[in-house]
Structures are given as structure tokens and as C-alpha cells.
Structure 1
Amino acid sequence: MNLIRLEIKRNIKKTEDKNLSFRVFDLETATIEDYLHPHKKDHFCIILVETGNIDVHIEDKVYLLKSGKISIVFPDQIHFLSNQSSDLSGKIILFEEVLFCSDILKNELSAYNVNLSEQLNCTALSNPEFEKILPIIKNIEAIYTAPSLIKKEQARFYIKIFLLGLIESIHGQHPVLHHDTQSANQQVYMAFKKLLNQKYKSERTVQYYASQLAISSKKLNEMTKKHCGETAINAIHNRILTEIKRQLLFSDLSHKEIAFDLGFSSPSALNKFVKAKLKETPTDLQHELAQIYTA
């Protein structure tokens, strides 16, 4: 299966859109045709359902989205939509990464940035919270319909207000985030996640990551258990498993090629790893994933 990567510029529907860093569409069958097959994006995607429901597949998880639930898909997350109801309505908002409050999250709000993408992939809001954000969405759509230089700047603020509201909501839903008063610990944990994404193909020991972060292996385990509920070695293994699943499903590489690309010494080592973690072979896993993504 060839996995396409959609660019926000490809979603331009009118010539005056070319200088905009965001897009707004109605969530209906006609507008989601490009979203019905597995793909990645170079931008963020907000999916908001007002009536009806739809399944949102993100990586190896499936979320049922209905009124009161919002999904934010991050750049390069593999995803697609399926099983939309006949009464489906809502909005899709696409926006470039520059609008995602990056500097704020990295500095003043670093405590909120722990496993943020996992939490924002599907967020359930109370009725009052959901009703509160609808006018913000309407304001963004109104600016998209009739943009001007000043209004485009207003849209940036509306999107940030919307995002910060969601982040505040999930922060309240996951009180474990409240208890970490040591910002240094938060920064170290995020540094671990970043380093893991860079080195998972070649470095697979807790000792390596702990030494790179200048902490003990015990301390790293404490941090990962606190922030994501798993040991450091499980975090490392799960990152490798995620890439194995991606390559089995979306690449044309053989199992041997996947094994060597991901740093395994042989295809049998890949087979042993997958079987130990998932109780099935890479071939079984590939068939299982194919059924999920082609159903």
C-alpha cells in the first residue's frame, strides 16, 4: 500500500486561500473523500462532530467521534476516517504547525505538553464546554470565508484560544499532570521522548537514554511510569513496535528489509521480538493490520 502525505496547500479550494495557513471545511461525505484512506499530513487537523458520528483511525487506535468529542490529528500521524453516519455534520479545520502555540508549550506551559498528542487525538468535552467552543469555530470559519490581513491574525488567536481551551480541559481530566511540581522532571521526560524518536532504531537500552540525560536508570523509570504509566524499556519497545506496524502495513519492504532498517540483526530477531511482545508473528500482525485498514 502506498501511503500518501497530504500537504495543506493541496487543500486550497479558492485562489485567495494560497496565503492562508489554515482551512475550514464542512464535515460531510463530499469533503472527506480524501480522508477515507490511510494517509499522513504535513499539518494539524481538527475534526469536530456536531451531529451523528464517525470513526477516526489514528495509528493503531480507533476513536468513535460524536457530538461533544473532538479529535486533533498531529502531523505525520497515520490516520483515516470510516463508518460515518448519515446524519453526520461538523467541521474540519486544517492548520500549519506555526499556529500550535509551540513556543508557549515549550516554555510557560511545558507541564501541559506531556503525551499531548495522545490526549488530543480524542478529547471528550462536557456539554457546557462543547457549547462554549462552537462560537470560536464559527469565528474561524467566518474569517476563512472572508479573510483580510487583520482577520487572518485574528484567526491565529481564535485557533490558539481553541487549542489552549482543549489543553486545559485534558489537563483537568488527567490530574496526574498536576502533581509534578518539578519542571526539571518534565523537561527531562520530554527530552527522553525526543531522543527516543531519534535513536530508537539503534539504541534500545534504558542505560543509554539515562546516560544521555545524565540521570540514573532508576530515575528514568520513575519518570516514565509517572508520565505515561509504563517502564522506560516498555516505552522503548512500544516505539519500535509502532514503527514495525507502520512499515508492515504501509511500506513495500520485505520482513528482512524491515528487520535491518530497524536495527535487528536478522529477520528471526524481528520475529522473536514481535512474538514476545504481541504473541504473534510479523506475518500474522501484517494480516491483522491489513484487515483493520482495508475493512
Structure 2
Amino acid sequence: MLTTENTVIGFIGTGVMGKSMAGHLMEAGYPLVIHTRTKEKAEELLANGAQWAESPKEIAEKANVVFTIIGTPADVEEVYLGGDGLVQNGRENTYLIDMTTSTPTLAEKIYNEAKKKGMHALDAPVSGGDIGAREARLAIMVGGDQEAFDQVKPILELLGKNIILQGNAGAGQHTKMSNQIAIATNMIGVTEAIIYAEKAGLDPEKVLKTISTGAAGSWSLSNLTPRVIKGDFAPGFSIKHFIKDMGIGLEEAEKMDLDMPGLALAYSLYKRLADAGESESGTQALYKYWGLENK
């Protein structure tokens, strides 16, 4: 059984979500070793007692449970399977938990390579954005072995409330694609609804108060639309990362010979926003698309 006495947690990626997640693990009493591309982003955690590691290799040498939430599938492959990566340098019976939204194929590859070394790999992407990370109520979608899942579930429960083993390696990533597909088209509806309300001369706050409690209600409507109304487009989850996720979804759908017109439309709208300089904005900045159309 993994306890605060026999577990050292490594955490790679302390960005918008990772910083809060790592903080919850420290608050629970786990020794924490962290690494991130930009050390400045880890300063608060380091000041609170986390130990700095110069590389994934150093994380692998010190920790027996490692979380990652980083950028792209290429980043994930390098951190896990590169020469200075976690699998190459980790110890037997280490638990590797990738919370990045990546590809199911890569998740399976990491699982297989880790298994050769007696390590346990889980793909465990999350949903809930900066709010869910900060409040420790993320949805966590897991792929991998039941035994490994059972071992780390008490730790995952420090980060989220809805934690489900979806199936074998890669199943967590496939579930996350379903999640992103649902969000992609929902974001179009959410932003169009507010644009329509404004054009009709309505008070968008009053409209939101009404429609968020009815059949139109959704997480995006309740959590992101208030930001739109306030003109707050800071990223809880950035457009550039959402585009990456939607691209993975479209690629996976093509492999399954599946047409996804809604996802393709959302991808095209967000791509245009990114091209207009909004790649670092939050996904709620889709609202600005209508401003582009009017130029």
C-alpha cells in the first residue's frame, strides 16, 4: 500500500493545472520532487518544501510515483521514453501516471515499455480546467491495469472526485477524446448563445442565470460564460492546447473511418482564432471569433 511514509511523488509540469495538483499532494503530506520546463513556475511549490529535480531522469531516480501533465505527445514521448526519461531510468514497481491529453497509441507504447521494466503505467488525462485543479474536483479518466489503478486511486482522490478506470492502456486517452469532442461543439453553442443575447439587446448575466439552470446547462456555460461576460479570456485551458487535443481527436476518428463534422467545425474556428493571435487565450475566447467575422 502506498502511504506518505513509503512514497515519494515526482511531478513533471507545474503549469496552470499542474501547480494546483502538485500542491494538493504536498498538503496531504507526500514528499514531492518536481521538474518543469520553466523553473520560475515552480517557485511557490519549492518555497513550500518541494524538492527541485534538474531532469526527468532525476525524478525517476528519486520517486516511486510519478505524475506528468505536460504539453504535446512529442513532449510525453521524450519525458517517458527518451534516454533521460522516466522508463529508462526508473525503478521496478514505480507507478507512472500521465495526465497529459495525448494519443492512445502512445499511451499503449509507454505501458508496454514500462511493463518490460516491471513498472506500472497509467494514462489518466483529466477534465475540469484550472478551477477543477484548484478545487481538487477533476474528472480523471484512467487506462491501464486494475491492480495499478487500485494502488494509486487514494492518491488520485486527492486531485479529483470522478475517477474511473475506463479499460486497458489507451482507454483513458480515448475517453478524454470523447470529452473534448463534447466540449468542442458545446463551446460553439455557449458562445453563440451569448452573442445572440447581446445582439437581441438582452442582459447576458440575466440570460445566463436563466438558461444555465435549464436543459441548456453545462459546465462550460456555468464556468466559462461568466468569464466571457466579464471580458476575462485568461486561460483555464488554452486555445493552443485545445487545438492540439481536437487534432488528436480528428486523427483518431479518421483511423476509425468516422466522420466528425462538429469537431471539424470547432477545430477550424479555433484555428482561425489562433492565427489571429489568440493561441494563449482560454477556450472561452471563442467569443472573439464573431469580432473577427465583423472585421
Query: Normalising by structure 2, what TM-score?
Result: 0.29
